[in-house]
Chains A and B, each alone.
Chain A
Amino acid sequence: MIIPGRLEELSEVRSKIQLFTTGFFDEITVNRIVLSVDEAVSNIIRHGYGGTCGDITLELKRDPQSISITLTDNAPPFNPLSVESPDPETHFDDGKSGGLGIDFFRRMMNAHYERTSSGENRLILSKEIPHENK
């Protein structure tokens, strides 16, 4: 599905991810997955497209073992996995407000980044489904 690159769309994205994950993960984990995607999409819209127009392609896949969520955009090349993680001991005292979102989805999900052959950014977030929910 295509997501217009506007922050107003974040609520709709969250609803889709909520629907996609409920029943396969507990409530806390569903929220962590929803938040991970929100943070990734917000980052693309705010920093990738930076106020210019741009779409994000969202693909959802689920097999008996795991889920994967793929975000593809045409913003300038950027690998979020190359960003240094904040130090939780000093991050807030330094007055910093950014950097938490990328760090969050890197910790909560298995994250993989690639540049496609057509020059797009592609971020793949995956997570194993707990045995009891398979």
Chain B
Amino acid sequence: MGDAQLKISETEQGGFTILHLDGDIDAHTSPVLKDAIDKVLTRKKINIIFDFAKLNYISSAGIGILNASLNTIKGQKGKMGIAGANKTVHDTLEVMYFSRKVGIFPTIGEAVKIL
């Protein structure tokens, strides 16, 4: 079966950096997420949308990193959102209370429009 994998690519849309996540976020792969976010956080203006369309799974390790990012981004007057979460990932975000803190949108387009 092998280790869980997480691949992250980056695009830009409507003034937002879009981080496209492909795979699983758990305690093993969460450093990959942290590294990708840290690169974006060095920039002057920080608006990030996380594209979850190809994210299969997230655990509290990932949510912890997203929360730390959210606090940093808010501190720098930036915006952050999540788009395209599947049913089970969306449930995890809700049950772990994170949906109270960050906007979760069906698509990247809607996230860009509303944030």
Contacts and interface: CB of A to CB of B under 8 A. Distances in A.
Contact of A8 (B28, B63, B71, B101): B28
B67 interface: yes
A8 B4 CA distance: 7
Interface stretch (B35-43, B54-62, B76-84, B107-115): B54-62
A20 to B, nearest CB: 15
Contacts of A101: 59-61
Interface string B1-24: 111100000000000000000001
Q: Chain A at the B interface: mostly helix, strand, loop or mixed? A: helix
Given A12-B1, A92-B101, A95-B68, A104 B96 contact: yes
B87 A28 contact: yes
Looking at chain A, what size class is its interface with the partner chain?
20 to 34
A8 B63 CA distance: 19
A28 B96 contact: no
A38 B1 contact: no
Given A97-B64, A104-B96, 10 more contacts: A8-B3, A8-B28, A10-B27, A15-B1, A31-B88, A32-B91, A42-B26, A45-B27, A97-B68, A104-B60
Interface of B: 1-4, 24, 26-28, 57, 59-61, 63-65, 67-68, 70-71, 87-88, 91-92, 95-98, 100-101
Interface of A: 7-8, 10-12, 14-15, 27-28, 31-32, 34-35, 38-39, 42, 45-46, 88, 91-92, 95, 97-98, 100-101, 104, 107-108
17 contacts: A11-B1, A11-B2, A27-B88, A31-B92, A32-B95, A34-B57, A35-B57, A35-B92, A46-B27, A92-B67, A92-B97, A97-B65, A98-B60, A98-B64, A100-B97, A104-B60, A107-B95
